Structure 1
Amino acid sequence: MARLAYHPQTAAAAGLNASKRWATSLGIWGVGAGTAALLLLSVTPLVKREVLVKVPVLGGYYEDKTPASDKPF
């Protein structure tokens, strides 16, 4: 028969254990939400110019190569 033992925990130890359990899940959800936000906002000029152009590998894809004479505004 298994015996159960009571081990009291301090508040700091309980908080640390809870944060360890939730860190991976919250990290995955955070990366997913950030990716979705960039995908939805990638059509706005401010996000393109300030964020996406500065990404090292993908920056060339988001650069605006349209000549100034062809832009209406």
Structure 2
Amino acid sequence: MARISYTTVSPLTHSLNVTKRWTTSLGIWGVGAGAAALLFLSVTPLVRREVLVKVPVLKLYYEDTTPASDKPF
């Protein structure tokens, strides 16, 4: 017959276990939400100029090379 052994778990250990379980999931959802926000806001001139142009890999794609004489405003 199996014996059941109950041990006490300190509150600190319990909170660390819960934190470890949720950190990965919340991190993945946070990265996904941030990427979606940048995707939807990439057409906004402020986001394009202040955020996306300053990322080294994305700079060439989002940089505006249109001469000033060809812009309507």
Q: TM-score, normalised by structure 2?
A: 0.90
Aligned to 1:71: 71
Aligned to 1:8: 8
Aligned to 1:23: 23
Please give the per-residue CA displacement for 1:2-57, whole angstroms capped at 9, x wherever unaligned: 43322212222111100101111111111110110000000000000011001111
Deviation, 1:66, is 0.8
Q: Distance in 2 between matches of 1:2 and 1:28?
A: 40
Gaps of 5+ in 2: none
The aligned amino acid for 1:9 is V
Q: Distance in 2 between matches of 1:72 and 1:2?
A: 81
Aligned to 2:34: 34
Structure 1 segments, 4+ long, off by >6 Å, are: none
Identical residues among aligned pairs (%): 73
Deviation, 1:60, is 0.9
Q: Distance in 2 between matches of 1:36 and 1:30?
A: 10
Q: Distance in 2 between matches of 1:2 and 1:36?
A: 52
Q: TM-score, normalised by structure 1?
A: 0.90
Aligned length, in residue pairs? 73
